[in-house]
C-alpha cells in the first residue's frame, strides 16, 4: 500500500505541473535513468488500475526521450525502441480509460517510429 500511495503521489505531482521545464544537458545514462524511473512508476500505477496517472507518467517519460543529445546510432536505436514501448504502454492506458482517439494517436506515433511493430498494429486495430 505504501508503494501504491507513493506512486499515486508521484502521479499527482504531474497533474499539478504538466509542463516539464527540465532543460539540462544530461548525459545519456542519467537521462535514461529518469526515463526508466518514470516508466517504472507508470507501470506500478497501471497495475494498480490508476490509468490516468500512469498515462501522465508515460507521457513524462516520452518527454524525456526527446531530450537526449549527441546520441550514437546505437544509442538512438535504444531511445527509439524505448519510445515505441512507452507509446504502446500509453496506448493501453488510454484504451483502459476508453479514450480511443488518444489511444489511436499514440499507436500511430509508435508505428511512425517502427512501422512493422506487431503490437502497435494490433493495439491500433483493437
Sorting pLDDT into bands at 50, 70 and 90, what band is 125?
A: confident
Angle separating helix axes 51-65 and 73-96, nearest 10 degrees: 160
Q: If you average pLDDT over every residue of the chain, what do you get?
A: 88
Could you give the percent of the chain with pLDDT greater than 70?
Answer: 83
Number of domains making up the chain? 1
The one-character DSSP state at 72 is -
User: What's 101's domain CATH number?
Assistant: 1.25.40.10
Give percent above pLDDT 90 in the chain.
74
pTM of the complete model:
0.83
For residue 5 the three cell numbers come to 500511495
Model pLDDT, residue 25: 86
pLDDT tens digits along 36-94? 999 999 999 999 999 999 999 999 999 999 999 999 999 999 999 999 999 999 999 99
pLDDT at 6 over 80: no
Range(s) of the domain holding residue 115: 2-17+26-125
Between CA 86 and CA 79 the distance in angstroms is: 10
What pLDDT is attached to residue 22? 73
Amino acid at each position: 500500500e505504501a508503494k501504491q500511495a507513493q506512486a499515486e503521489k508521484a502521479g499527482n505531482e504531474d497533474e499539478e505541473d504538466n509542463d516539464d521545464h527540465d532543460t539540462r544537458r544530461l548525459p545519456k545514462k542519467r537521462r535514461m535513468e529518469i526515463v526508466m524511473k518514470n516508466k517504472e512508476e507508470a507501470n506500478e500505477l497501471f497495475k494498480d488500475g490508476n490509468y490516468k496517472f500512469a498515462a501522465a507518467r508515460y507521457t513524462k517519460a516520452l518527454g524525456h526521450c526527446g531530450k537526449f543529445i549527441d546520441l550514437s546510432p546505437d544509442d538512438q536505436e535504444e531511445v527509439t525502441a524505448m519510445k515505441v514501448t512507452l507509446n504502446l504502454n500509453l496506448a493501453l492506458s488510454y484504451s483502459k480509460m476508453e479514450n480511443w482517439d488518444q489511444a489511436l494517436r499514440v499507436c500511430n506515433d509508435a508505428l511512425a517510429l517502427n512501422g512493422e511493430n506487431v503490437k502497435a498494429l494490433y493495439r491500433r486495430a483493437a
